[in-house]
Amino acid sequence: MNLLSTVNPLYTLSGFVVGLLVGQTGVGGGSLMTPILVLLFGIHPATAVGTDLLYAAATKSVGTLVHGYNHTVDWRVTRRLASGSLPATVLTLVLVSHFNLATPEAGKAISFVLGIALLLTAIALIFRSRLVAFVGDRFASLPERRTAALTVATGVVLGSLVTISSVGAGAVGVTALILLYPHLPTRTIVGSDIAHAVPLTLIAGIGHWILGSLDWTLLTSLLTGSIPGIILGSYLAAKVPDAVLRPILATVLVVVGGRLVF
C-alpha cells in the first residue's frame, strides 16, 4: 500500500502546527505531539512515543539544516550532549526491551512518565528566567572542563527521559543549555538543542521500531505537515517573541501533564 494514499489530514495539520512551534522555540516535539496522539487521537502511549521519536528525528533534521545554514548551531555543545545522551538511550532501550509495551499496564506507566515529563517541561518554561537569574552567574564562572562534564551529564538525563516518554529534549534541554552557556545567543541555544535531538530521537525511535511500537502510516501523515512547518518556524524564530510563546506552551503542558498523571 502507498503510504501517501493513507495520509490523514488531521494528523498532517497536527504535524504542521507542532513543527512550526519546534522551529521557533526548540520545544513542542514530544511535549505536544505525543499527548496529542494519546489524548486527542487515542493512540496507545507506547506507539505514540515510538512514532513521535522518529517523527522528531526527521522533523528536527530539517530544522538542523535551516539552523546550520543560518550558523545558529554550536557543534561543540551538540557533541557534548550527544556523548551523554546516546549511551543512555541505548541502555534505556535495553532495559525497556524486557517489558511488553503493548499491555494496558505498560500504557498507563508510560502515560504517567509522560505526564511527569510534561510537568517538568512546563516548570522549565515558566521558571527559566528565574533559574537563570538565580544561578546564572555561578554557572558562567565555571571552568570549561566542569561545564563540559555537566553538559554530558545533562545528555545522560535527556537520553533516558526522551527514550521513555519522547519528552524533554526541547524545554528541559534548552533550559539546561541557557544555564550552562549564558553567553550563547538564544537562537544558537535552540539550534544546538535541535541538532542534538536528531541522533537522540533517531536511535530511540529505531529502538522502539525494533520493539514493535511504531505506526508508519501515522508517521507519514505527521511528517507531511511537520517538515514544511519546521522550515517556516525556523525562519520565523527571530520574529516571534519568546515571551509570547512560552506562557502559552507552559499552560498547555500543565493541563495536559496533569491530565495524564491524575
3-state helix, strand, coil in the chain (%, to 5): 80, 0, 20
Other C-beta atoms closer than 10 Å to the C-beta of 76 total: 11
**What would the grid cell of residue 184 be?**
550563547
Write the CB contacts of 169 (distance below 8 Å, at least 6 apart in sequence).
29, 30, 56, 158, 162, 193, 196, 197, 200, 201
Any idea how long the chain is? Answer: 262
- pLDDT tens string, the chain, 262 residues long: the values are 455 556 788 999 998 988 887 777 666 666 788 888 888 899 988 899 999 899 888 878 887 888 888 888 999 999 999 999 999 999 999 998 888 777 888 788 888 888 887 787 778 777 777 777 776 667 767 788 999 999 999 999 999 988 988 877 777 788 888 888 888 887 888 889 889 999 999 999 999 999 888 899 899 999 899 888 878 887 776 566 666 666 777 777 787 777 777 7
